[in-house]
Structure 1
């Protein structure tokens, strides 16, 4: 086999082995019986050496043909345990693979020729074994078990259940480890892949490395996948970071950390944005959404002015009873700024009755008291008192109750979902309840502490609550990113001098989490160290969530690195293939013909047969190639245009991994033992001011 020819011929019989055998026999004869070839012994040894070298060269060339054909039908097994995953401070390990070039497009096209089909499929012995296994499934189960044994000693063992087209990776014999420079991660990475093709395995691979590097690692898992949660738990403890691990899980509230999605903000108006942002803003709903924003903003401003931290429960309470908040705040402002009005209010309460209250305000709790305050504030003396928050509350309580219920009709169901049952304890934590040992965290604390956070949103049980909580967390992260960008991580507090640290966000099924908050996170969060790795199934999932093709393109355009596993939608596959150049591949055309000749020339006809080699331009990769990827394999478009074909390692049995819990119940039991309150948190973390107790 020579590499000098234009067309590489690898799918053919290994004829080089014939030459190797003959040359080997000739070398043997020259050494053992030089007289048989009429050579003197001194000359025959030199001749034998030449034949031996030729035999070795041809044997290697023939074995390459055989290995190539075998690789197309069955890839070499690639297994790696969690402890074997390599970790680098400069690069991110993605798996094993090769750089895809014109050569691989050529080889892939060669596999489509009908005459080479026999080299791509298992032989008759394999097919007979599968037939025998099926026929003896009930009568002789032991035979079927023997035929299914996954061992190199079993020549007919079944192919791995990965489906797809195995030749996509088998066309290259020389694999290497594939790495992504960590400096490229700040450009964000998106992973596409349909259900059950390896997205979670890839997430485990990347999360494991981030945890072991000691970086901030935040995993958003809408489904609440138990295996992913256990992996985060095991790797945090393997890296001796168990004391910096937080687990927030809506499906397991008894072991979950607590988080106030609206308790931390740079501007108080962010509270209203996070709550109203969950409401529909399309069509006629836009007006109701704007009113809900204004109403929640009034409540949040009043709570902050009263020295209380907003949370979903308080907002729900005062949406249902704005009169109570109005009375509290009005009395506070009057007491501090114009105490002379207090006597007038008390006198009004004694004089006025229910019939004196305007019809639009009747039916409210403490209507007489509210009207007494209103009369006092409307007097000549009261008009001198101006407070923007008080004016907002006054306008709210003047609404007719029936009308008011209609315009907050879309807000109340959302708040009820977020404040019902044990979910309320997680999203509206009581900071003064020392009997509850579950930690309370916020993102600023997490980033300063370089902690590991797993967020399980249990979307299968209640997708709307999961989406609302996820969006609120993203909005909070955007606010924290803006704060870090302006002031650094420590913002003047004592501690290390780092202005920013890598913040790794792994967002599984991120189309279920994203809203308008996600766009600025990936668009501008890189300046604060945010590194987003998003996992989803198709580009249509993003568009269905956002409802706008232009915004979908905006989101996808902010991801510099693209990893695509098997997808079932051509439009998604074209996100990769349309970015690749066209290449020239060689085609071979067989031309055969004959021609009659003059009978006087002594010939009846002439004939000729030709192999013509030409070139044709084809895409480097077709969408059909992405659609037929086996499980656990992917194309990766990295570092501004480099196309890699990779495969992730299969997980080795972790039965001997003492750090891997057998079930979530085991995690729950250990967390209950390790939870403790934080009366002396300052002794352990002098540079950190947590928003709650010590974690477990």
Structure 2
């Protein structure tokens, strides 16, 4: 959170605080952030922790200190005449602390060690099956089956990981990690920013198609291996289009089929290997005759797709296909080429005979005079055909017209020179697709019982097969591109057939297109746009986004491809435009940074000769969740995954195949040595802590006696023995003194004084002995004190490497505010659920006021809108983001300072602001500009915008273009078509309200609604909805039942 001082005021996210809250910098620094808060308020401890993940592992040094203290305590108990039990207890306590510090050091070091594992990781097919099987049967919190696709091992990439990345890059990667950690093939340190775990993406999100982008050799094909294998394991049909013909991709798909026990389901197609390649007829499947012509005409090169050459080529193809079908022949590429290059004479003659035989009686007798006359008078090479045409035009056409015949006749009669020019771009396409060996591969006409496998797209999908199509584009890119394009066009036709006639038995069809820019065409865009309804899931891989524009010849069409892929998987990308596109499509974050300032001053005054200042400042600035430049540093097989739901993951992908031993790196050796060292230390501690006391008693020969009770509960026998020894020594000394006194004749020595000396000596010895014992007991404390001192020192080093700041925020107790807002929400609002149109699961709720306010009272509406924001904030935080919370806001309220300040304080992720009651205030450009700025602030603070009750008015159309809301709500399904014509932004959700029955819900989903709301929805999820709020539909139903009763 950034505080900016402007003209005697402080700005906090656009909110002004009066100058009375502002003190000079020194007093603020001394008093803390609370000096900015007016009296009577408290400060919320909103902590920003900057714990640098790549600082030195001080926890290891702390662990070493405590482990040294453990050894010191055991040595003290062994070498000094002290009880072993107490030494064991003290050493155990130090050992426990040391083990805890060692565990934290292991956690800290694991992030660094993980960056050293730069070797490729391999996974076998059985292992992949074991790992992905739980994801295929995963359930959500409501017990519903939500299968997922396993995407490798990684972690959820949030603003936390992004902030760590920015702080590390700001401090210098080489400085923090060392130059040895900067691998030449990528920034592996990115994967050490969080603990990795298995990552899965729900299959329902993958239905929105997936775009995989990455430069050459970074793992796009190996990622395809992992995804294709899981699709095969789920028993779904798979179509693989591989322009470069990667043999490893084909072999892995075949091995997975064999592993699943269905090797016969794998079909191999590759022009480079015609002997083992299956034959596929791309013109076998069609519903309307025009589809065949469109399928081939789509291959004609054109800048616009609607020029005269394409149109004429389409007409010729349509005429020939219609005539072939009329003569009960199946169209294929070879026949099309024959009749276009050699002319349609034979086909036209055959078609006319078929038509005459079916429609005209005695046609041969009627036609004979015309043939005889034509043969005698005609100067061309086909007098018989001319007679047939004349007979059709003069006699048959009046009673039995045929459109296909008429079209083919016009093609036949067209000027041959002009005809050759118009089909000049079509003939090369057909030649490419019908030269050997493609004649047999793409136009199969084998006799029954032939050993050559012949299939088509519909068979592949119906029988759940796995079709691999290698296009051999490396040897012949032009022909390979044409094959891929016509196959994709055929697949689009099959998708249309499934969509129109498949009913409820639609299958999930997985289509993988590698190097998609080489084969993509207009039918493929249609498949991306509408294939989801037929169950098609597209996975297209490319190197840069510019490849699509170069292939399609139109940047708008290239953007259509990008816009119809809801999921993005980004590997290493070197193209700047592609990097920018990826980064701009992800919301920004508030990256936290720290600055430290030192200052000093010297003055000549006596009152203040020296002045010093120290300042620490934490700021939050807008930054990219994934910076464009970092995409060029991703290691091979490392990627970012951007789900259609908005989540971002950082993962690494293993290579599917047999495990291979990789040569260990120097970092790996260092890590292994560190692990061995830790194991040795922990093993020593275990031996030291769990060996029985008797073992140490036998080793300590110097200890003659053990203190019975070192707490003083019983007599210290050993000390008493020492006292008795002292008494014997004193008695001996006293006897010598008395003897000397007697010998000297000094009779003045008083025996009483000798007794006092004797007693003082005894007690002095006892006191000094006790002091010695205390000092020996302190020998246990000495290692502990040293370890505690070292621990505190390194803890201060950790604090220096990290940073924690408090940001001031005005409120009266966070917990009290939350409680009051929740009570207000339950008292003043009802809630109505919002369901997913497809799964009927609860996606969010809308807070509805319990009483309808008078719209003529602007102040009342403003207060209602303010309370709605507070209630939405409380509910969103109460359910911790598990569902969205919608609240209604009148347009004029957004221009109010009261509502804006409330929004700044209470807006949070999960809150959706619905704009209602469009009024004349929007016609004022100044008011509308202010509203647009407020909408931007709502989004910056994590909120989402929605338009309520959309009816297609002109003022609403303008708002739709300017505000680009994430949700648009309509009262009736009939508005959906008008809404579709407005050109909604990518990802805009359409919510249909007033759903009163299951039939209405089904109809709304069919015509494009993504979410539903209404009385039927209230009753449908009555038991899955929060008990704190009663939906109005449930209340209406209960009232109706009560009335009937």
TM-score (norm 2): 0.54
Task: Name the SS for the 2:521 alignment partner.
Answer: coil
Q: Are the structure 2 counterparts of residues 521 and 52 from structure 1 closer, same or farther at C-alpha, using a change threshold of 3 Å?
A: same
Question: Match of 2:1014?
Answer: none
Q: Are the structure 2 counterparts of residues 381 and 651 from structure 1 closer, same or farther at C-alpha, using a change threshold of 3 Å?
A: closer
Question: Match of 1:238?
Answer: 259
Q: Are the structure 2 counterparts of residues 71 and 385 from structure 1 closer, same or farther at C-alpha, using a change threshold of 3 Å?
A: closer
Per-residue deviation at 1:470? 2.0
Matches of 2:489 and 2:595, distance apart in 1: 61
Match of 2:123 among 80, 101, 122: 80
Question: Match of 1:425?
Answer: 440
Matches of 1:15 and 1:37, distance apart in 2: 33
Question: Match of 2:522?
Answer: 516
Q: Are the structure 2 counterparts of residues 166 and 543 from structure 1 closer, same or farther at C-alpha, using a change threshold of 3 Å?
A: same
Matches of 2:657 and 2:295, distance apart in 1: 43
- The structure with the greater share of residues assigned to helix is 2
Matches of 1:553 and 1:445, distance apart in 2: 32
Q: Are the structure 2 counterparts of residues 545 and 354 from structure 1 closer, same or farther at C-alpha, using a change threshold of 3 Å?
A: farther
**Kept after mapping to 2: 8 A contact 1:341/1:382:** no
Matched, 1:327 2:329: no
Question: Match of 1:463?
Answer: 477
Q: How does 1:246-395 map to 2 (within 5 A)?
A: 246-282=267-303, 286-319=307-340, 320-353=342-375, 356-357=378-379, 362=380, 366-379=381-394, 383-395=398-410
User: What per-residue deviation string (whole Å, max 9, x for no partner) do you get for residues 78-109 of structure 1?
Assistant: 43223311333322111000011222122212
Matches of 2:148 and 2:642, distance apart in 1: 16
Question: Match of 1:617?
Answer: 622
Per-residue deviation at 1:354? 7.7
Matches of 1:639 and 1:558, distance apart in 2: 11
Matched, 1:117 2:156: no
Question: Match of 1:678?
Answer: none
User: What per-residue deviation string (whole Å, max 9, x for no partner) do you get for residues 380-411 of structure 1?
Assistant: 67755522222222212212222221221111
User: What per-residue deviation string (whole Å, max 9, x for no partner) do you get for residues 319-349 of structure 1?
Assistant: 1221111111112222332244433543333
Task: Name the SS for the 1:517 alignment partner.
Answer: helix
Matches of 1:420 and 1:555, distance apart in 2: 31
TM-score (norm 1): 0.80
Q: Which has the larger radius of gyration?
A: 2
Question: Match of 1:100?
Answer: 157
**Kept after mapping to 2: 8 A contact 1:247/1:453:** yes
User: What per-residue deviation string (whole Å, max 9, x for no partner) do you get for residues 98-123 of structure 1?
Assistant: 01122212221232245662442355
Task: Name the SS for the 1:112 alignment partner.
Answer: helix
Question: Match of 1:191?
Answer: 212
Per-residue deviation at 1:285? 7.5
Consecutive unaligned residues in structure 2, runs of 5 or more: 1-45, 137-146, 662-1045
Q: Relative contact order (C-alpha < 8 Å, sep 6+): which is higher?
A: 1
Task: Name the SS for the 1:467 alignment partner.
Answer: helix
Per-residue deviation at 1:599? 5.6
Per-residue deviation at 1:196? 0.6
Matched, 1:531 2:537: yes
User: What per-residue deviation string (whole Å, max 9, x for no partner) do you get for residues 355-377 of structure 1?
Assistant: 634xxxx4xxx422222223433
Match of 2:546 among 526, 540, 558: 540
Matched, 1:589 2:600: no
Match of 1:447 among 446, 461, 464: 461
Alpha-carbon RMSD: 2.9
Q: Are the structure 2 counterparts of residues 407 and 79 from structure 1 closer, same or farther at C-alpha, using a change threshold of 3 Å?
A: closer
Question: Match of 2:566?
Answer: 560
Task: Name the SS for the 1:552 alignment partner.
Answer: helix
User: What per-residue deviation string (whole Å, max 9, x for no partner) do you get for residues 569-591 of structure 1?
Assistant: 12222333223222223322231
Question: Match of 1:635?
Answer: 640
Q: Are the structure 2 counterparts of residues 201 and 12 from structure 1 closer, same or farther at C-alpha, using a change threshold of 3 Å?
A: same
Matches of 1:300 and 1:583, distance apart in 2: 57
Per-residue deviation at 1:618? 1.5
Q: Are the structure 2 counterparts of residues 557 and 414 from structure 1 closer, same or farther at C-alpha, using a change threshold of 3 Å?
A: same
Q: Are the structure 2 counterparts of residues 605 and 35 from structure 1 closer, same or farther at C-alpha, using a change threshold of 3 Å?
A: farther
Match of 1:569 among 566, 570, 575: 575
**Kept after mapping to 2: 8 A contact 1:189/1:559:** yes
Per-residue deviation at 1:160? 7.5
Question: Match of 1:217?
Answer: 238
How many residues align structurally? 601
Matches of 1:179 and 1:95, distance apart in 2: 8
Question: Match of 1:27?
Answer: 70
Q: Are the structure 2 counterparts of residues 30 and 420 from structure 1 closer, same or farther at C-alpha, using a change threshold of 3 Å?
A: closer
**Kept after mapping to 2: 8 A contact 1:69/1:119:** no
Matches of 1:66 and 1:376, distance apart in 2: 92
Q: Are the structure 2 counterparts of residues 264 and 652 from structure 1 closer, same or farther at C-alpha, using a change threshold of 3 Å?
A: closer
Moved more, 307-316 or 108-117: 108-117
Per-residue deviation at 1:486? 3.0
**Kept after mapping to 2: 8 A contact 1:561/1:636:** yes
**Kept after mapping to 1: 8 A contact 2:207/2:536:** yes
Match of 1:14 among 57, 62, 77: 57
Moved more, 283-292 or 67-76: 67-76
Q: Are the structure 2 counterparts of residues 651 and 269 from structure 1 closer, same or farther at C-alpha, using a change threshold of 3 Å?
A: closer
**Kept after mapping to 2: 8 A contact 1:73/1:170:** no
Task: Name the SS for the 1:521 alignment partner.
Answer: helix
Q: How does 1:487-506 map to 2 (within 5 A)?
A: 487-488=501-502, 499-506=505-512
User: What per-residue deviation string (whole Å, max 9, x for no partner) do you get for residues 172-214 of structure 1?
Assistant: 2x21001112222212111111111000000001111111221
Matches of 1:264 and 1:272, distance apart in 2: 12
Moved more, 251-260 or 49-58: 49-58
Q: Are the structure 2 counterparts of residues 210 and 258 from structure 1 closer, same or farther at C-alpha, using a change threshold of 3 Å?
A: same
Matches of 2:419 and 2:511, distance apart in 1: 40
**Kept after mapping to 2: 8 A contact 1:261/1:469:** no
Q: Are the structure 2 counterparts of residues 160 and 623 from structure 1 closer, same or farther at C-alpha, using a change threshold of 3 Å?
A: closer
Per-residue deviation at 1:10? 3.5
Q: Are the structure 2 counterparts of residues 605 and 72 from structure 1 closer, same or farther at C-alpha, using a change threshold of 3 Å?
A: farther
Per-residue deviation at 1:474? 1.9
Moved more, 178-187 or 638-647: 178-187
Question: Match of 1:52?
Answer: 95
**Kept after mapping to 2: 8 A contact 1:471/1:514:** yes
Matches of 1:87 and 1:12, distance apart in 2: 36
Task: Name the SS for the 2:510 alignment partner.
Answer: strand
Q: Are the structure 2 counterparts of residues 80 and 349 from structure 1 closer, same or farther at C-alpha, using a change threshold of 3 Å?
A: same
Task: Name the SS for the 2:549 alignment partner.
Answer: helix
Q: Are the structure 2 counterparts of residues 294 and 56 from structure 1 closer, same or farther at C-alpha, using a change threshold of 3 Å?
A: same
Matches of 2:639 and 2:354, distance apart in 1: 63
**Kept after mapping to 1: 8 A contact 2:54/2:177:** no
**Kept after mapping to 1: 8 A contact 2:52/2:168:** no
User: What per-residue deviation string (whole Å, max 9, x for no partner) do you get for residues 606-639 of structure 1?
Assistant: 4344443333222212111112111110000125
Matches of 1:232 and 1:591, distance apart in 2: 61
Matches of 1:608 and 1:633, distance apart in 2: 46
**Kept after mapping to 1: 8 A contact 2:205/2:645:** no
User: What per-residue deviation string (whole Å, max 9, x for no partner) do you get for residues 636-693 of structure 1?
Assistant: 012511110000014554689xxxxxxxxxxxxxxxxxxxxxxxxxxxxxxxxxxxxx
